[in-house]
A and B are shown apart, each in its own frame.
Chain A
Amino acid sequence: MIIGVCLKQVPASDSRIKIDGSGAGVDASDLKMEINPYDEFALEEALKLKDAKVAKKVIVLTVGGSDSEQRIRDALARGADDAVRLDDAAFAGSDSLGIARILAAAAQKEGVGLILAGKQAIDDDNSQVPAMVAELLGWPQVTVVDKLELDGGSFKAWRQSGGGVRDVVTGSLPAVISADKGMNTPRYAKLRGIMMAKRKKIPVYDAAALGLDPASVGAAGAKVTQVNWSEPPARPPGRILSGEVPSMVKELVTLLRDEAKVL
């Protein structure tokens, strides 16, 4: 079986995000990029399945420009066998559905039997793409998975469904699984892996290569339009209480209950 891992580059989690002057997006000039942390869990799970000889090959699927190549190489260095970069002028301005169409087409082209992806990307936090990919392919899906077992043509996936309840979902392959934190501990690249990854050729597929109608992706196919970007309002300054301790405690409790409404 071939596992496809959807991998997106995002600003490093400790970045200070600035809105660009026109309010049309993030100013990426000083941003350090890294692999979306949830995608790292997806990649690691795929690599573990390959180590266990359940999967034959792990292929990375990335929608992005040439600036995302370094992240793809990071994934290859850790042990992914191949990667394809999905890039076309027509992809610009894609919403989640557009991205899902591109990824679904690439997965089909590569003969992928299981798609692993992060449960969400930490930049826009939409959590939509994996589910949409599954829907487009007509495959079963389980999202926010923190444990996965494969057995022949079927899978068993564990997920937190809120309120302390844990779901165990079984289904058949091919399928889409989105990975949550805790699924595994992503590995470091080996030095030899880094060196091999540098030499690997990463094919680039455009809309035509993927058999996609350019009108179905990018800004042309988007159902979501971004109107404006702005920074969240600045946090109001904190308050420092003064006076005797017993009266301060009383005041603090009142404030926590009536104003902050946390008690």
Chain B
Amino acid sequence: MQLYKAPNADIKFNLEAFDYEGQVASIDEYADFDLDMAMSLLDEHARFCENELLPLNESGDRKGIHFNPDDASVTLPEGFKEAFNGYKEAGFLGLPFPPEHGGTGAPLTLAAVASEVLIATNKAFSMCPGLTSGLIEALEAHGSDDLKGRYLENLITGKWSGTMCLTEPQCGTDLGMLTTKAIPEGDHYRLTGSKIWITFGEHDLTENIVHLVLARLPDAPPGIKGISVFIVPKVREDGTANGVSCGGLEHKMGIHASPTCVINLDNAVGYLVGVPHKGMRAMFTMMNNARLNVGVEGLALSDAAYQHALAYAKDRRQSRSLDPAKRELDHAADNILVHPDVRRMLLNVKSTNEALRGLVTYIAINIDRAHHCADEADRQKSDDIVALLTPIIKSYATERGFENVSECMQVMGGAGYTQDWPVEQYLRDVRIALIYEGTNHIQALDLVGRKLPRHGGRLLQTFMGEVTTLIRGSKDTPELAPFISALKERSKQLQAATMELAGKGMSDQEEAGAAASNYLNLFALTTLAYIWCRQLTHALSVGGAQQEAKFQTARYFFDMVLPEADLYARLASVGKAPMMDFNVDYL
């Protein structure tokens, strides 16, 4: 039973709350994309996703993909090709990309909020446009004009798709260990090596597949500083096959309709993107968007699960209310929404989902501003916020998202565990989001080891400046007072934890590593408190039932979720001893 409906009303609420029109549509090149236009685009996108992609979600999961050993081709489940064609013909693939290369030229904000709906209706499908977008961004930022001219339009219009070939059997998180070789030959290179876990590395949706490959030149320095990036097409521009082949598929827990391939490069022709040996820098420029998008995956499936759990709960009658006055004696049992714990579970999910949707919007708006504001100081401020909050949305939204889907399953009891409902699929599909695109602990290390120390701690100062501005601006709004005072407390708690971590981590990096994951969660909860305060500020101007619903949801968040910050603050300050003093022989 697929009940999902795109939450476009709440998406619109967030675009308003974070002043999309003032912050993004006011930038010259986005003048066409006011809120009204934005919602028209997003509504048509949602209609397509609900009508065309949602019906393929379950069948894609059950049927999966097929590897044909005879010709090493991969066949996607029935209906995926038609859906992909529809998606590309409507122009959705090119939404945020330049019109001169066949895109629509919309702000990235719209692509980010649209991707929630794309993922929620069919996460496996969403992987293909997702990876292709990553490749397009890398080419846009670092490719030569010649490469852009040859590749961008076909990728943006969906004639071709793209992949990211990073991982090799011996190197996952530690990319410095990669061994794929690239030998110069005239105006191009010859690449040889084996890449694994290549999403949509081979499939039958497009006539060509363009791989972005990390490899080493013969004179490359060892480790992470010797990696270069190449474009390697499956079919060369003259129509002949390149030395690229699919060596097989992984059998995964979830996203069954998304082929995860072994890609073998055998003397394949490739083209250098950017500067030799500076490949990792090129990879990092697009990582913010990719990591934001993985965070969105946590939110998307959490909301999809919530919609089903809520529908189930509204219909389900079991046991009697603990309050005799609320019992409906003309029924054999009361609706399960009378039980405090059912409400607790649903509200845990709802109050974090709505905050995470706000955080996605806030980060995405800042990505647009970091790239396009006229003023250097504005760009820098937004870039600071994006850099700081990207590991947080990636890690926290996926960890919480997974927990939320599990909580939704709990609301539904045994029914949620069966294939009669899609929640068990969501649980399997979302789990990977905690792992790929940099595991969640890598995000925590990125936050603690790179983002906090960067520019002498400026990123955190920038964000805290935003928090302080909000607190000051709210002092004459009595409705916000309890929320603002909690936010104030929590930012003090976060700053204290940051000082402690910096002190300990400076002298002993193992201390930082031990505290990082808990510290990130503390940071995330404080950030979500900030997001809720921004949303409430806007809710006051909306009024009516929407204001009331936002205030009640926020009340739940501040009373029942935010206190988790105390636990994380406590855990972050325990130090490394319980782990590092432990004798590994006893593991």
Interface residues of A (CB under 8 A from B): 73, 77, 188-192, 194-195, 198
Contacts and interface: CB of A to CB of B under 8 A. Distances in A.
A119 to B, nearest CB: 22
A77 B48 CA distance: 14
Contacts of A198: 36-37, 40
Among A73, A191, A192, A198, chain B packs the most CB atoms within 10 A around the CB of: A191
Interface stretch (B84-92, B496-504, B565-573): B84-92
B410 interface: no
A30 to B, nearest CB: 11
Contact of A190 (B32, B36, B91, B106): B91
B439 interface: no
B90 A195 contact: no
A195 B44 contact: no
A77 B104 CA distance: 14
Contacts of A190: 89-91
A242 to B, nearest CB: 14
B86 A191 contact: no
A194 B44 contact: yes
Contacts of B37: 194-195, 198
16 contacts: A73-B40, A77-B44, A188-B47, A188-B86, A190-B89, A190-B91, A191-B41, A191-B90, A191-B91, A191-B92, A191-B95, A192-B91, A195-B37, A195-B41, A198-B36, A198-B40
Contact of B104 (A73, A188, A191): A191
Interface residues of B, number: 17
Interface string B379-402: 000000000000000000000000
Given A191-B95, A192-B91, 7 more contacts: A73-B40, A77-B44, A188-B44, A191-B44, A192-B104, A194-B44, A195-B41
B322 to A, nearest CB: 29
A192 B94 CA distance: 11
Interface of A is mostly: helix
A188 B90 contact: yes
Of all A-B residue pairs in the complex, the 8 with the closest CB atoms, nearest first, are A191-B91, A191-B104, A188-B90, A190-B91, A189-B44, A194-B40, A188-B48, A190-B90
Contacts of A77: 40, 44
A190 B104 CA distance: 10
A190 B94 CA distance: 11
Nearest to A194: B40
Nearest to A191: B91
A220 B95 CA distance: 50
Interface string B124-139: 0000000000000000
A189 B89 CA distance: 9
A35 to B, nearest CB: 12
A131 to B, nearest CB: 31
A194 to B, nearest CB: 5
Nearest to B106: A191
Contacts of B91: 190-192
B41 A194 contact: yes
A4 B557 CA distance: 54
A191 B106 CA distance: 10
Contacts of A192: 91, 104
A58 B391 CA distance: 51
Nearest to B32: A195
B108 to A, nearest CB: 15
A189 B48 CA distance: 9
Contacts of A194: 37, 40-41, 44
Interface string B196-228: 000000000000000000000000000000000
B7 to A, nearest CB: 15
Contacts of A73: 40
Nearest to B51: A188
B375 to A, nearest CB: 28
A137 B383 CA distance: 64
A189 B104 CA distance: 13
A33 to B, nearest CB: 13
B309 to A, nearest CB: 21
Interface string B45-61: 00110000000000000
Interface in B78-108: 86, 89-92, 94-95, 104, 106
A195 to B, nearest CB: 6
Nearest to B99: A192
Contacts of B86: 188
Interface in B343-377: none
A192 B102 CA distance: 10
A66 to B, nearest CB: 14
B419 to A, nearest CB: 25
A188 B92 CA distance: 11
Contacts of A188: 44, 47-48, 86, 89-90
Contacts of B104: 191-192, 195
Contacts of B106: 191
Interface string B20-48: 00000000000010001100110010011
B524 to A, nearest CB: 33
Contacts of B40: 73, 77, 194, 198
A149 B36 CA distance: 39
Nearest to A192: B91
Contacts of B36: 198
B376 to A, nearest CB: 30
Nearest to A34: B47
Contacts of B94: 191
A19 to B, nearest CB: 22
A188 B36 CA distance: 19
Contacts of A189: 44, 90
A177 B47 CA distance: 28
Contacts of B92: 191
Contacts of B89: 188, 190
A210 B224 CA distance: 74
A99 B297 CA distance: 49
A237 B498 CA distance: 63
